[in-house]
Amino acid sequence: MTATPSAAPAAPGPGAAPTSGALLERLLGRMPPSGLVLLALLSIQLGAALATRLFEAFGPAGTVSFRIVFAALVLTAAFRPRVRAVPRGCWPWILLLGAAIAGMNLCFYEAIARIPLGVAVAVEFLGPLAIALATSRRLLDLLWILLAAAGLWLLTPQIAGATGGGLDRTGLLFALSGGLCWTGFILVSRQLGRRLPGHGGLALAMIAAAAISLPIGLPAIAAGSFGWLALAGAVAVALLSTAFPFSLEYAALRRLPPRTYAVLVTLEPAVASLVGVLLLAQGLSPASLGAVAAITVAALGATLSGRGATGT
């Protein structure tokens, strides 16, 4: 299986100094797409850990709105998208990508405000795992489907009731919804990358995501406690959780098929669990650890069987 090559951005004319966006695109283009995805994975989890510290000031929705708005400003300044140069047929894909980005971020932050980071990522990860399994025709992949289902089953007894402790039901539903949005991000990014070279499409999609998320988070922002430390944290979260990883993933998805991308992020639930334990002191029950492990192994199994079938 090979990725569809994307058109390279036009080179600057003789004597013209390359823009910061052109230099960044050139740098990203020289990096292996697998390395871009892995860097994005680590950056997202570090940003998520930092974001939980801002929930007290701005709440999950306010924190998401802050980070997406800052990310839109950063990406627009870096890549300077030319709106008039965008083909009319690309705009539906840009708006869809913006909706996927906004939905994925809002659902994920609402989830990690209620359940441990590792569990939230494991449940959300079922979205890209579904892509990997849906595009396979091998009988062996039935095993990975059953293993992922076993992971969800391990979480079921821990769902909190009306009065009991355990995993928050609403948090799990937000994580599942985030997984659906993540699936949309993967599929739409590839379609937009085929139609619109460069990172201008991502910058415009981030602006659309900001327009969607800001009305949702504005009440929490207005009621929040502003301070230089909180604002600096919001900027750091925007860079770590949105601008940096989405640029890396968008560049990678232009050179990777969705199945391969889903394969490369198989370690994300484990990384999220480790970050949650080390940075957030979030202990996981044996059943939660088993669920994270089952989903991770299911993704890894789908990865290995897929590589064997396609030769990639």
| 234-265 pLDDT tens trace | 888 888 887 788 778 878 887 877 767 766 77
Mean pLDDT of 39-50: 88
Which of 15-29, 258-272, 281-295 bottoms out in mean pLDDT, i.e. has the lowest?
15-29
**Mean confidence (pLDDT) of the chain:** 79
Position 20 confidence tier, pLDDT thresholds 50, 70, 90: low
Torsion on CA atoms 103, 131, 119, 229, rounded to nearest 10: -40
Tell me: pLDDT of 305 over 50: yes
Tell me: pLDDT of 108 over 90: yes
Q: Higher pLDDT residue, 149 or 174?
A: 174
Q: What are the tens digits of pLDDT across the range 189-199?
A: 888 888 887 77
Question: Residue 155 falls within a domain, yes or no?
Answer: yes
Question: Residue 198 falls within a domain, yes or no?
Answer: yes
Nearest Cα neighbor of 69 from 189, 207, 201 is 207
Question: Phi and psi at residue 275, in whole multiples of 5°?
Answer: -65, -40
Question: Residue 27 falls within a domain, yes or no?
Answer: no
Which tokens sit at 311? Answer: 């030769």
Whether the CB-CB separation of 78 and 242 falls below 8 Å is answered with: no
Rounded distance between C-alpha atoms, residue 81 and residue 92, angstroms: 16
Whether the CB-CB separation of 75 and 247 falls below 8 Å is answered with: yes
Counting residues of the chain whose pLDDT is more than 90, the rounded percentage is 18
Counting residues of the chain whose pLDDT is more than 70, the rounded percentage is 82
Position 9 confidence tier, pLDDT thresholds 50, 70, 90: very low
Question: Residue 8 falls within a domain, yes or no?
Answer: no
Whether the CB-CB separation of 65 and 216 falls below 8 Å is answered with: yes
Mean pLDDT of 134-151: 77
Question: Residue 174 falls within a domain, yes or no?
Answer: yes
Which residue stretches of 52-168 are H helix?
55-79, 91-112, 117-124, 126-134, 141-155
Q: What are the tens digits of pLDDT across the range 226-235?
A: 777 888 888 8
* Parent domain of 233: 32-310
Mean pLDDT of 121-136: 78
Mean pLDDT of 5-31: 55
Nearby residues of 55 by Cβ (< 8 Å), 6 or more positions away: 63, 109, 113
User: By three-state DSSP, how is residue 54 classified?
Assistant: helix
Q: What are the tens digits of pLDDT across the range 200-216?
A: 888 899 999 999 999 99
Whether the CB-CB separation of 61 and 106 falls below 8 Å is answered with: yes
Sign of the torsion angle spanned by Cα atoms 173, 174, 176, 180: positive
CA distances, 247 to each of 51, 127, 158, 252, 267 (Å): 19, 20, 36, 9, 20
User: By three-state DSSP, how is residue 159 classified?
Assistant: strand
Mean pLDDT of 67-84: 84
Which tokens sit at 125? Answer: 């990860």
Whether the CB-CB separation of 230 and 10 falls below 8 Å is answered with: no
Cα R_g (the chain), whole angstroms? 19
Question: Residue 74 falls within a domain, yes or no?
Answer: yes
Tell me: pLDDT of 176 over 90: yes
Whether the CB-CB separation of 259 and 306 falls below 8 Å is answered with: yes
User: How many domains does the structure of the chain reveal?
Assistant: 1
Position 8 confidence tier, pLDDT thresholds 50, 70, 90: very low
Which tokens sit at 191? Answer: 């379609």
What's 125's DSSP letter?
T
Residue matched to tokens 């449940």:
123
Q: Higher pLDDT residue, 137 or 311?
A: 137
Instruction: Report the largest interatomic distance among the alpha carbons of the chain, rounded to a whole angstrom.
Output: 70
Question: Residue 10 falls within a domain, yes or no?
Answer: no
Position 145 confidence tier, pLDDT thresholds 50, 70, 90: confident
Phi-psi category of residue 59: left, alpha or beta, with phi > 0 → left and psi -120 to 50 → alpha: left
CA distances, 214 to each of 211, 219, 261 (Å): 6, 9, 29
Tell me: pLDDT of 61 over 70: yes
Question: Residue 240 falls within a domain, yes or no?
Answer: yes
Whether the CB-CB separation of 268 and 95 falls below 8 Å is answered with: no
Tell me: pLDDT of 155 over 50: yes
